[in-house]
Chain A
Amino acid sequence: GGEGSTKMEGSDSKGDDILIRFSFVNAPMSIKALAAERFAELTHEKTGGRVKVEVYPGGQLYDDDESIDAVAAGNLEMIAPSVTKMVTFDPRWQYVDMPFLFEDEEHVLAFFDSEIAQDLLRSEILENNNMMGMGFWQNGFKQFTSTKIPLREPEDFQGLIFRVQAGSVLESTYRAIGAGTATLSFGETYAALQQGTVDGTENTFNNIETQNYEEVQDYLTISNHGRIDWAVFVNQPFWEGMPEDIRIQVEAALAEATEYMNSIAQEENNRSFHAIKESGNLEIIELTKEERQKFELAFQSVYEEFEMVITKEVIDGIRSLK
């Protein structure tokens, strides 16, 4: 439903005074906010001030689910939600939660540039909802953290409860190694880890450090078992309402901002990893090759369960990019 979506001020103008409001839930000093600010500056430069980007970090405008609604309705021009959130439109996006699907950062970047990625970003169902994917922003690999027990092998997870983000893939992943999942809200997670209401969680190095989970956890297992990434979306009628030359300039600005984003994401994750290591709050556990293989074997059932909905095309396609 999108008759109303072209009504926004700016989108119907002659080309000057175009306003792009860019909303996301990450903190004002997070890497995403830095990249968004960079995008705003570059856009201003490249379009000679004809396009203004207003950045709204920290969910001050909309929360994640609502921001997707707002872009679809045309009340907002640009968002960069966590990839998982797109499951609300298209189950194939669950690829991101599949355990050990990606080998390393290079593999992830190769996927971002691939046909499969394009197909996800510009799918028909998104188009029907006035959404258009512009590209991926990388965040990082997820690691396990835990309170009582160091996690080295699948058996160590038996009977533990992990706080995870929403999604059935994550639930199945933990079930496959005998653990349960609880989807606590952001505001409750810190206290729940502290109190021992849940036994552990999973996150990127950078999130573990900036959300202070190292204060309330004892062990960190470097597992690189899953991904958290973001994707940038715009309201399609708005995008197509912009003059061609402007579109090219904004696209160039976004491409540069994306490159910047991907480089600082790696830097920040490394910096956070060292900060966590130096803080001494967490005992760090590195998996051997054999230990990692045990996990991969245990997670076979997750692939059997989700191959149908995510499609073989996407899963095998991503694997072939290694």
Chain B
Amino acid sequence: MDRAKKWWALTEDLLAGTFLTVGITLILYGALMRYVFSDPKAWVMEISTYSIVWGVLLGVPIAWRNNQHIRIDILYDKLSGSKQRLMDIFSNGVCVIFCIAFTYYGLQLVIERYPSGMTSMDVGIPMWIVYLVLPISGFLFLLRSVEKLVIALKGEGEK
């Protein structure tokens, strides 16, 4: 179980980390080519932006895993333990619903764009590929939300 969890986290980190690193490296490459070699690469801006946004969206479940998404605890702190547990179940339940909807509509978007022939402006990447990140990150986010909901249901509380 712990082993599986390790691999799961590693997969998330590798996916998001790769895209973010590629994007940031491309920005540096673009600046170098323009300034040092006077040979600007027009495709850099679009690809680096998409790559970073991919990395960031794939990073949403990582932020969730690390409890980075901002929550307000004013009410939560005033509640007793059993009521806190109810609130945990409710809030994580809502997140699960959000993730299901996000994944569903993200997938619908990809399916709609697939036959459309729409491409990105600069490089001409098919838009359905660009949008593919939405259902993928939605699904990874869903897995983390389900994990949190299960923990809340078991009443274990967050580490």
Which residues of A line the B interface, CB within 8 A?
Answer: 1, 65, 68, 72-73, 84-85, 87-89, 125, 128-129, 159, 161, 164, 166-168, 170-171, 180-185
With contacts A88-B127, A166-B121 taken as known, whether A182 is within 8 angstroms of B116 at the C-beta atoms is: no
Which residues of B line the A interface, CB within 8 A?
Answer: 34, 38-40, 42, 45-46, 111-113, 115-122, 124, 127
A128-B116, A180-B34 known, 5 other contacts, Cβ within 8 Å: A65-B121, A88-B119, A88-B121, A89-B116, A161-B38
B34:A161 contact, CB within 8 angstroms: yes
Residues of B within 8 Å of A87, CB to CB, are: 119, 121
The list of the 3 closest CB pairs from A to B, nearest first, reads A1-B112, A180-B40, A166-B121
Residues of A within 8 Å of B115, CB to CB, are: 1, 128
B42:A171 contact, CB within 8 angstroms: yes
| A69 shortest CB reach to chain B, Å | 8
Across the interface, B118 reaches (CB within 8 A) one of A89, A159, A167, A181, namely A89
Instruction: Report the bound CA distance from A88 to B117 in whole Å.
Output: 8
| A302 shortest CB reach to chain B, Å | 14
With contacts A65-B121, A85-B121, A161-B34 taken as known, whether A183 is within 8 angstroms of B116 at the C-beta atoms is: no
Instruction: Report the bound CA distance from A251 to B114 in whole Å.
Output: 32
Across the interface, A129 reaches (CB within 8 A) one of B46, B116, B120, B122, namely B116
A166:B46 contact, CB within 8 angstroms: yes
Instruction: Report the bound CA distance from A39 to B39 in whole Å.
Output: 45
Residues of A within 8 Å of B111, CB to CB, are: 1
Residues of A within 8 Å of B46, CB to CB, are: 166, 183
Nearest chain B residue, comparing its CB with the CB of A65? B121
| A178 shortest CB reach to chain B, Å | 10
With contacts A1-B112, A1-B116, A72-B116 taken as known, whether A181 is within 8 angstroms of B40 at the C-beta atoms is: yes
| B45 shortest CB reach to chain A, Å | 5
Residues of A within 8 Å of B119, CB to CB, are: 87-88
With contacts A129-B116, A166-B46 taken as known, whether A180 is within 8 angstroms of B121 at the C-beta atoms is: no
Q: Which of B113, B117, B120, B127 has the most CB of A within 10 A?
A: B117
Residues of B within 8 Å of A182, CB to CB, are: 34, 40, 42, 45
Residues of A within 8 Å of B45, CB to CB, are: 182-185
5 examples of A-B residue contacts, CB within 8 angstroms = A1-B115, A88-B121, A125-B117, A166-B121, A180-B39
With contacts A65-B121, A129-B118, A166-B121 taken as known, whether A73 is within 8 angstroms of B112 at the C-beta atoms is: yes
Nearest chain A residue, comparing its CB with the CB of B119? A88
Nearest chain A residue, comparing its CB with the CB of B120? A88
| B106 shortest CB reach to chain A, Å | 14
| A65 shortest CB reach to chain B, Å | 7
Nearest chain B residue, comparing its CB with the CB of A185? B45
Instruction: Report the bound CA distance from A303 to B117 in whole Å.
Output: 24
B117:A128 contact, CB within 8 angstroms: yes
B117:A159 contact, CB within 8 angstroms: no
Residues of A within 8 Å of B112, CB to CB, are: 1, 73
| A180 shortest CB reach to chain B, Å | 4
With contacts A88-B127, A183-B122 taken as known, whether A159 is within 8 angstroms of B116 at the C-beta atoms is: no
A181:B121 contact, CB within 8 angstroms: no
Instruction: Report the bound CA distance from A87 to B115 in whole Å.
Output: 16
Instruction: Report the bound CA distance from A27 to B8 in whole Å.
Output: 47
Instruction: Report the bound CA distance from A171 to B45 in whole Å.
Output: 13
| B30 shortest CB reach to chain A, Å | 8
